[in-house]
A and B are shown apart, each in its own frame.
Chain A
């Protein structure tokens, strides 16, 4: 039994593929229901944003579980399995835990340290919680990953970096234009970082904002939010003439803004400067564009390196965050392994209790004329003997289970010593049913991402 993560992200697949696997929020509960009907899937959660689509599951058997999740994706979206294989990544067991923590801590994000992903993860968890598809394991995993993310945020300067990337963009804009009042910004495509940068620019005096997106509805949505204008994607080159600052994040696999296009635009603008920020991966603005006079093209790495200068090395911060994650994965795995002792402990307790009751009844039955007080005293004494005898073995069992090497062997010895396996009266304990489902303490609701 174990945790598996199956999915794709901006790192593994282009936007076209990601779009095909996208689960709109309102369809997720039904999708989860369907997923749970696949054999061996015990708990599940779906996260679907513009940068990633991932299924987190607790499955009876990792390999089979992965196979069934892939089958589910294939069935649900009507895509052939072969077409999926290349795009999906799989993280089983400990790797899955690690991946979850990394995603929550924004170590797997396009922009390291951006905070939106944690909000998205919490939203996805809430949906799964309502759909009742999570239980002990995923509850623990998600709660733990939220606390890991918080640790990363408070103990490293990674998050500071993400904020400083958009303020770096603003600072650059100011070094080009001076005053930003009355300048026009265009968002070409959208994503968390593009929006963050746009918000920063707006709060620095930028008045006009245009949004162009492949899906016009999304452009309209976003334009409404920023009180700007939505533009049809195919019309954006014409609108560029009016644009002073272009933030590009279309997620297209090729260059959307090309040198010839920009050269013409600059001429039409009578050589007024344009500041272009390319936060897409892969790049959407042809690097050659930078060679055009009065065009200043910066990509995320340029901005990042500027931030590096200011914060003394984001790479170092990321490294520290990774170390934190490694520690936390270890703690989590210890907890999970500790769970292995639970069935043995329960069996042992039951067996001993059984014996105690039987012997107690026998003794009390053979002694006549005992007062109730005396009976109670004998009962209490038997309980005390049992508890004292069991105390040391139980502690050892818990510790052994939590440690990596000797765990399984110790459990086996215990079962053998107490002869637990032969008289097993109940089915293998389902640990998923042991702990009550808890709601994660409500986070401040972060704004939903519109892709």
Chain B
């Protein structure tokens, strides 16, 4: 029953993706963009209902295994996208953002959705706080990553004077530069808080704040990287270089998420 909501959410995301792609090809059909936005929103609502149902079923926030983690990340990205889209009204973002969401949901749809038992020491309010903060931070990084990709495409068009269809569809450079920076400056504090709460939780569970586990180390690397990005921004780095850095940062996030968590040893192993 719960899964119906999960697949319904995916179905709506699929509709939204298709809609945003059609809109990208035919930008004069504005109604398609708003239909896609509604589809995304409904998808998110269904996704959230599924999340809550799973939460009540398992008795804890569902972010403890690989399926739940990417499910949560996907949901987080949709949330960030919805907020940004309502704020900036750039439907072209959807054309790039929704496929990423689908890409994340695809492995979620085929991996084990079994609700595993949880070590009782980990049962704490910190679990929810730490994981949701970290996931929202990652979602913001993902958003910045997509916008940076779009920035690079657009900047390439402008530099090489390819002023065709893609050029007309993509948003202005400065706008993308700005919203990517916004996303980073929201994402990094969330990620920081996620790390701090995680550390507090670790102390309450194992009596140590930091134990250099692979996931911790990888996260620290991600954290330092984005800190550097934000610092470089304040001293004037912009545009293409920032976009490259943001993309590099998200690749680290992905490695940390998909590789370190899976092969690694320790508490973050799914």
Instruction: List the interface of chain A (C-beta within 8 A of B).
Output: 172, 174-178, 267, 270-273, 290, 293-294, 296, 298, 302, 305-306, 309
Contact = CB atoms under 8 A, between A and B. Distances in A.
B54 interface: no
B159 A176 contact: no
A373 to B, nearest CB: 84
B159 A174 contact: no
B265 interface: no
A178 B239 contact: no
A398 B174 CA distance: 69
Contacts of B189: none
Nearest to A271: B238
Contacts, number: 50
Contact of A305 (B161, B235, B238): B161
Interface in B128-184: 154, 158-159, 161, 163-164, 167, 170-175
B173 A176 contact: yes
Contacts of A309: 163-164
A293 B158 CA distance: 12
Nearest to A291: B159
A296 B155 CA distance: 9
Interface string B72-102: 0000000000000000000000000000000
B123 interface: no
A293 B238 CA distance: 9
Contacts of A176: 158, 172-174
A322 to B, nearest CB: 27
Interface string B205-241: 0000000000000000000000000000001111111
Nearest to B176: A178
A436 to B, nearest CB: 53
26 contacts: A172-B158, A172-B163, A174-B172, A175-B154, A175-B170, A176-B158, A176-B172, A176-B173, A176-B174, A177-B173, A177-B174, A178-B171, A178-B172, A178-B173, A178-B175, A270-B235, A270-B236, A271-B236, A271-B237, A271-B238, A273-B238, A293-B239, A294-B238, A296-B159, A302-B161, A309-B163
A290 B159 CA distance: 8
A294 B154 CA distance: 12
B128 to A, nearest CB: 38
Max chain B C-beta neighbours (<10 A), residue from A174, A290, A293 = A293
Contacts of A293: 239-241
A296 B238 CA distance: 14
B175 A272 contact: no
B62 to A, nearest CB: 39
Contacts of B175: 178
A107 to B, nearest CB: 25
Q: Which 8 A-B pairs have the closest CB atoms?
A: A270-B236, A178-B172, A178-B175, A271-B238, A306-B163, A294-B239, A178-B174, A177-B174
Given A175-B167, A178-B172, 10 more contacts: A172-B158, A176-B158, A177-B174, A271-B238, A273-B173, A273-B238, A294-B238, A298-B161, A302-B161, A306-B163
Interface of B: 154, 158-159, 161, 163-164, 167, 170-175, 235-241
A294 B159 CA distance: 9
Contacts of A172: 158, 163
Contacts of A296: 158-159
Max chain A C-beta neighbours (<10 A), residue from B158, B174, B241 = B174
Nearest to B165: A309
Nearest to A298: B161
Max chain B C-beta neighbours (<10 A), residue from A176, A178, A290, A305 = A178
A52 B172 CA distance: 38
A286 B11 CA distance: 53
Contacts of A272: 238
Nearest to A305: B161
Contacts of B164: 309
A149 to B, nearest CB: 30
Contacts of A267: 236
A92 to B, nearest CB: 41
A267 B163 CA distance: 27
A59 to B, nearest CB: 47
A178 B171 CA distance: 8
Given A273-B239, A293-B239, A294-B240, A177 B172 contact: yes
B8 to A, nearest CB: 36
A290 B158 CA distance: 11
A181 to B, nearest CB: 12
A272 B236 CA distance: 8
Contacts of A290: 159
A298 B238 CA distance: 21
Contacts of A306: 161, 163
A273 B237 CA distance: 11
Max chain A C-beta neighbours (<10 A), residue from B175, B237, B240 = B175
B161 A273 contact: no
Contact of B238 (A174, A177, A270): A270
A176 B163 CA distance: 12
Max chain A C-beta neighbours (<10 A), residue from B158, B163, B164, B237 = B163
B169 to A, nearest CB: 11
A332 B268 CA distance: 89
A272 B237 CA distance: 9
A271 B173 CA distance: 13
Given A273-B173, A306-B163, A175 B158 contact: yes
